[in-house]
Structure 1
């Protein structure tokens, strides 16, 4: 990891003790996740202890400490989506992928996460596939989405 380059990119946050969230967002935008080494760089930039930065990063679900899969699937578990069947959708995806929420498949293709609410509450349950919202997703529809992605990958070789 290029710690000097990362430190330079975070220079706008130098000495701003309350800027852990935007600094961590910048790290995750750069790497796709928050490498543990980056916590030290963020801490040094902000002028706080690495444990404080880790506390912030581990509090928010949006931050990942491992590289995500090629496809990130996020199921909304907010109130509206929960009432519309989000838990059944999440269970179906866990079963189909053979992983639990927060994990990545062994082949590195899929990461399954949950989000509190991406916004479109009226069209739940909402599934975010690589950042794109999918409306009123049923377990069967989710399985078809996975099958399409898997077959596209197979076709690419």
Structure 2
């Protein structure tokens, strides 16, 4: 969805707000879709529109794992830590990702390229251990294959940054 459309959707949802108790989560979802995360100014604004105290809005944001208070990286990596992946070596995959990216689970790399998360299950147990990078699934992972995949994504970004430059 284009930025103008996201902004329109967020503003429309705020305009439509009628004080119904269940409206806070859809408002937060719209804010996150618009900004890519929920910045402090959005919390303040939503609190003002809804008359819900900022502390309560913040409490809802931190309760649900879908909401982010920090910007996400260009590539969001979700490593599966479910049972099938766990017994197939997920710990080694997670350790390799932390080493390669220079971040811990839940963090975004300093260059803003990668956000690294773990999830309970991706739903591809037959490919364990598995990770997703944005919408692309990578399975039957080894530490070596993880390093190769991360290198590919770094090259992809390098190529985008140098496209058209001579």
Aligned to 2:39: 35
1:19 touches 1:46 (CA, 8 Å); kept in 2?
no
Aligned ranges for residues 80-119 of structure 1 at < 5 Å? Answer: 80-119=84-123
Find the aligned partners of 1:123 and 1:132 in 2 and give their Cα distance: 13
TM-score calculated relative to the size of structure 2: 0.78
- Root-mean-square deviation (CA, aligned residues, Å) is 2.3
Tell me whether 1:61 sits opposite 2:61 in the alignment.
Answer: no
Stretches of structure 1 lacking an aligned partner (at least 5 in a row):
none
Q: Deviations over 1:62-100 (max 9, x none)?
A: 221111111111112233332332222111100011111
Q: Structure 1: how far apart are the matches of 2:112 and 2:55?
A: 29
Contact between 1:82 and 1:125, CA under 8 Å: does it hold in 2?
yes
Q: Unaligned stretches of 5+ in structure 2?
A: 1-6
Q: Give the aligned length.
A: 154
**Aligned pairs (5 A) from 1:71-150:** 71-150=75-154
